[in-house]
Amino acid sequence: MLSSVQNPRILLLHCRWSKPLHHHRHYPKAIHAAAQAQAVSTSLPTSQIQIIQKSIHSREKTARQFAEEFLNRLRLTEPHVKSFLHVSETVLNEADEIDRKIDQNEDVGPLAGVLVAVKDNICTADMPSTAGSKILENYRPPFDATAVKKLKESGAIIVGKTNLDEFGMGSTTEGSAYQVTSNPWNLECVPGGSSGGSAAAVSARQCVVSLGSDTGGSVRQPASFCGVVGLKPTYGRVSRYGLVAYASSLDVIGCFGSSVADAGILLQSVCGHDKLDATSSKREVIDFTSQFLAKDYLESQPLKGLRVGVIRETLGDGVDQEVVLSIRGAISHMEELGCTVTEVSLPSFSLGLPAYYVLASSESSSNLSRYDGVRYGNQIVSDELSSLYGGSRANGLGPEVKRRILMGTYALSAGYYDAYYKRAQQVRTVVQKSFKAALDEHDILISPAAPSAAYKIGEKKNDPLAMYAGDIMTVNVNLAGLPALVLPCGFVQNGLPVGVQMIGGAFDEEKLLRVGHIFEQTLQGCSFIPPLIADEFKC
């Protein structure tokens, strides 16, 4: 059960839904049957990366067999989920090469045979990188992002590029210029954003793990909506070289996995100093994988003495009560594990959202000025330079991108700089200090990852302010540059998952991964396999 102090009725609410999810689309028979299944398995999350590594090295299963398994699932589910903008044609050839190296006892790397999806705002030399925008349609970079390069050096197979809100500006993945991604838990709901494609791909088990980017919660909110693990590292932990810039002082490449161990192993492979990124940290990278002990090796209270602070402002007005209920259940579970849990107030918490949107929009107005049809981006035919600039941007950029460019340009204008941009930077300093003070007294802080579970596609598309308000739980972490881990902890009544957010001190990913892994391995009674593929994973 979730907790010995939890009401059985509440347990039922959290670990199953009262009625099947109905989708008003036509599915192949296998998908339709899976969509009606109740995912109530009590199996614990296991590291798919470790399973693959063990299997291919023992010759129990080949890398090609694993690749075919994931590709078959991708082909079955992709017409309905629409996670990918591009799927690689060389996956099986790369898997065969890994099998050949293993047969010849050659080194293949810690991610050999692991299929990794990459958000389409992260550059890949052998695949398009559009950032979800028409202005970069068919653009193929001449280089790999540092994170992608490290993945390939570790033996990973890049399965494809995932959908996103254009240039990472959005919270639903409806802002893509190409397609709308659906949530594998309910195809009528959004997967979150802007890394919704990466989250949905892991949730639907179309890949093993995936990379996303997080500027204001774009890894963590989709992780909560899709019932997967999302890890936002400390700013500077992972090189941003090759990440299409949105807001450079906030952008971070993050990790998705179906387990905490997988997210941690992925981070281990991509982090570290990079001379091509002046903001990447030179801090030594420790071995995160040493934190992932099996449940049988844990003590009765493995988190005894851990000081946990629950952010008071995140459980009040504006937060869905079923989300609050799930977070309260997670808190009770952490107390059972030995944590000392207290409430902590961050009075500046509500100020983070407006400060974030001023700063992020200001930086985006500068970063996106390069997409003018001359330096970067597709261009229209025009006899005059000014109309070429204006026409190329008007045709190539979507409405949300234009909105944020206009807001940022306004905030940076001479008459309003002090009133908006300077004031927002001052608020950012206040937010950083409030987090530091709270983390001086606590080992980690806890909050929901989003004020609600996933909502219907189209519900907030025409209400940008309501969409912006959904980022209230996550943007402060980016302003402070801190690491945060989101992992599923329960369900709301309609069967959609809820994620708890754990926030740590700067470069304290090791502690977050340890706590998250123990929490995950001891949380019984819930399975976070979406109904879309539940039949395949029944125990």
Q: Which residues are catalytic, by number?
A: 119, 194, 218
**Residues forming beta bridges with residue 84, ordered by sequence position:** 162
Residues 6 or more apart whose CB falls under 8 angstroms from that of 413 comprise none
Question: What whole-number distance in Å separates Cα of residue 212 and Cα of residue 199?
Answer: 8
Closest to 200 in 3D by CA, of 532, 446, 538, 470: 532
Per the document, the length of the chain is 539
* Edge-to-edge strands, sheet with 307-311: 84-87, 157-162, 115-119, 209-214, 252-257, 229-232, 484-491, 497-503, 444-448, 307-311, 340-344
Please tell me the distance from the alpha carbon of residue 119 to that of residue 122, in angstroms, as a whole number. 6
Q: Residue 185: left if φ>0, alpha if ψ -120 to 50, beta else—which one?
A: alpha
Residues 6+ away with beta carbon under 8 Å from 433: none
Instruction: Identify the DSSP state of 44.
Output: P
- How many CA within 13 A on the CB side of residue 529? 23
Phi and psi torsions of 430, nearest 5°: -65, -45
Are the C-beta atoms of residues 133 and 146 closer than 8 Å to each other?
no
Question: Is-cis flag, bond preceding 218, omega within 30?
Answer: no
The candidate with the shortest Cα–Cα distance to 199, out of 186, 216, 182, is: 182
Residue 233 identity (one-letter amino acid) = P
Contact by Cβ (8 Å): 191, 247: no
Quote the crossing angle between the two packed helices 352-367 and 399-412, to the nearest 10°.
100
In single-letter form, the type of residue at position 505 comes to G
Angstrom distance (rounded) from CA 66 to CA 355: 45
Spatial distance between the Cα atoms of 19 and 41, rounded to a whole number of angstroms:
17
Query: Could you write out the DSSP letters of every residue in 54-114?
Result: HHHHTTSS-HHHHHHHHHHHHHHHHHHH--EEEE-S-HHHHHHHHHHHHHTT----TTTT-
